[in-house]
């Protein structure tokens, strides 16, 4: 799987948009970009994933650059409950292939 690079930590004010970047310059054509988050002492939570088009769901938006070498996860209105470690993972969408976690970005949302 392609390696990803994320900032170690980020801060965001409550109510503002949180934009979390991820670099994946060695991504292959069949690899998807997945975003998960882990709130302290819980299992990771699926947020969103995409291949090349931008995606939006009830939790967030995923913006993937045209060359697919980087992406940004956007939480449009961050709340205190969004404080968590956010993981950007690239993986081919093949049965039996596990997600491999890096260190992620610790997002701290404050009032």
Give contact residues for another protein (rule: CB under 8 A): 32, 34, 36, 38, 41-46, 49, 87, 93, 95-96, 98-104
CB nearer another protein, residue 1 or residue 14: 1
CB nearer another protein, residue 14 or residue 32: 32
State how far the alpha carbon of 56 is from the alpha carbons of 10, 80, 97, 98, 110, in Å: 22, 21, 24, 24, 24
For the bound state, the minimum distance from the C-beta of residue 96 to another protein, rounded and expressed in Å, comes to 5
CB nearer another protein, residue 43 or residue 111: 43
CB nearer another protein, residue 3 or residue 46: 46
Alpha-carbon span 80 to 5, nearest angstrom: 25
Token look-up 């291949």 returns: 51
For the bound state, the minimum distance from the C-beta of residue 50 to another protein, rounded and expressed in Å, comes to 11
Name the CA radius of gyration of the chain, rounded. 13
Alpha-carbon span 38 to 49, nearest angstrom: 16
For the bound state, the minimum distance from the C-beta of residue 69 to another protein, rounded and expressed in Å, comes to 21
């Amino acid at each position: 799987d392609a390696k990803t690079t994320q900032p170690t930590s980020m801060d965001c004010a409550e109510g503002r948009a949180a934009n979390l970047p991820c670099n994946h310059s060695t991504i292959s054509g069949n690899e998807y970009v997945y975003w998960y988050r882990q709130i302290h002492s819980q299992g990771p939570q699926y947020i969103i994933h995409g291949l090349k088009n931008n995606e939006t769901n009830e939790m967030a938006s995923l913006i993937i650059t045209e060359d697919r070498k980087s992406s940004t996860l956007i939480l449009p209105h961050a709340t205190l409950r969004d404080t968590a470690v956010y993981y950007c993972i690239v993986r081919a969408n093949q049965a039996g292939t596990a997600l491999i976690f890096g260190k992620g970005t610790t997002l701290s949302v404050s009032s």
